[in-house]
Amino acid sequence: MELSSPVVRTEDIYKTYWLYWRLLGVESRQPILNALDVLITIFVTFWYPIHLIAGLFFESKLGDVCKGLPITAACFFASFKFVCFRWKLQEIKEIEALLLELDQRALTEQERAYFDRNTQREANFVWKSFIVAYGLSNAAAIASVLFGKGHKLLYPAWFPYDVQATEQIYWLSVAYQIAGVSIQIVQNLANDSYPPMTFCVVAGHVRLLSMRLSRMGYEGKTAKQTVVRELVENIEDHRKLMKIVELLRSTMHLSQLGQFISSGINISITLVNILFFAENNFAMTYYGVYFVAMLLELFPCCYYGTLISVELHRLTDSIFSSNWVGMERGYCRTLLIFMQLTLAKVEIRAGGMIGIGLNAFFATIRMAYSFFTLAMSLRK
């Protein structure tokens, strides 16, 4: 019987992710793209945050420092995360290879339908929402310069020459900032779309494993040897999922710690800028869009981080729900040991300290709200 739902293909979800890396010249054997990679590394990944940080030290007004601080922190941590993920690219490929192996285990209509209607749809929505949020943020920043008063840079920054010397030099400097931040947005798309997208896919595969576990022994007059083989295969699937979790812990260790620090700084300072330093509607729009982008940057990762823990915790119930009555003692003993293994709490931590979950997200929001109320009291 031909199944109506499409075959589970995790690689389709990651096509856009690997496109980001190719656009940045990474993972290519073509000399021209290798040269592009070197130029981006020097003039964007390293120099761009440096020229923003240096620019803050030359600002004499507190308002200008606060205006430049969010984008400076965002660019610094974007480069930091990009270097971290690039360092871990081999582990990212190992994770995808394990996910592709788990794809082959989704054989029933129920499993394929769930993955297509839930996991794949949500994972695709995640990376598309990042494109929209970051694109709007960049467009708002560019509009604030093009329609603003005077010859102002996109962001406060330091250049080794007088930016206002001539009209051509000014617009070349602005063009560098626009090009640089656009490339950093592509880097950030690679940085920030990967964790929630991967967490979503892993949570989906845990749910598929849960379906297979609860179904053991119920499929008509299945021979006991077949049920034993299904148990062994499901235990192997669980081992692969735990291997993926270990690789994710290694991959996210530093990058997500930078993410939480960056989000905390940006959310707090952006609220101050909205209250005190937004000069016109374009600036207000930019800071508003930027604030939403910061929340979007953090929430999906925390949500799906919690979802992985929840789905893994449900495996114990799924094992117990299988038809183990009447099976041999050795089978039941193995099943009991497997249940004990699934009782362990699984959590991925950023920097070994912050659990990537909704608790961390709401803690960040509470911190930002406290900062907001403090700023409101100072405004009065």
Q: Rounded to the nearest 5 degrees, what angle is found at the Cα of 125, between the Cα atoms of 123 and 129?
A: 125
**pLDDT for 178:** 87
Helices then strands, each counted (H, E), the chain: 13, 2
Q: One-letter amino acid identity for 228? A: V
**pLDDT for 324:** 87
Q: Is residue 369 situated within a structural domain? A: yes
Q: Is residue 229 situated within a structural domain? A: yes
**pLDDT for 208:** 96
**pLDDT for 377:** 75
What letter does residue 164 receive in the DSSP assignment? T
Q: Is residue 220 situated within a structural domain? A: yes
Say which residue the tokens 């993972």 belong to: 27
The whole-model pTM stands at 0.90
Query: Torsions phi, psi of 139, nearest 5?
Result: -65, -40
**pLDDT for 1:** 43
Q: Is residue 1 situated within a structural domain? A: no
Q: Contact 136/289 with Cβ under 8 angstroms?
A: yes
The Cα 43–Cα 41 span in angstroms is: 6
Please identify every stretch of the chain with a pLDDT value under 50, giving residue numbers as ranges: 1
Q: Is 355 helix (H, G, I), strand (E, B) or coil?
A: strand
Q: Is residue 132 situated within a structural domain? A: yes
Q: Is residue 3 situated within a structural domain? A: no
Domain that holds residue 335: 10-379
* Domain count along the chain: 1
Q: How far apart are the first and last CA of the chain?
A: 71
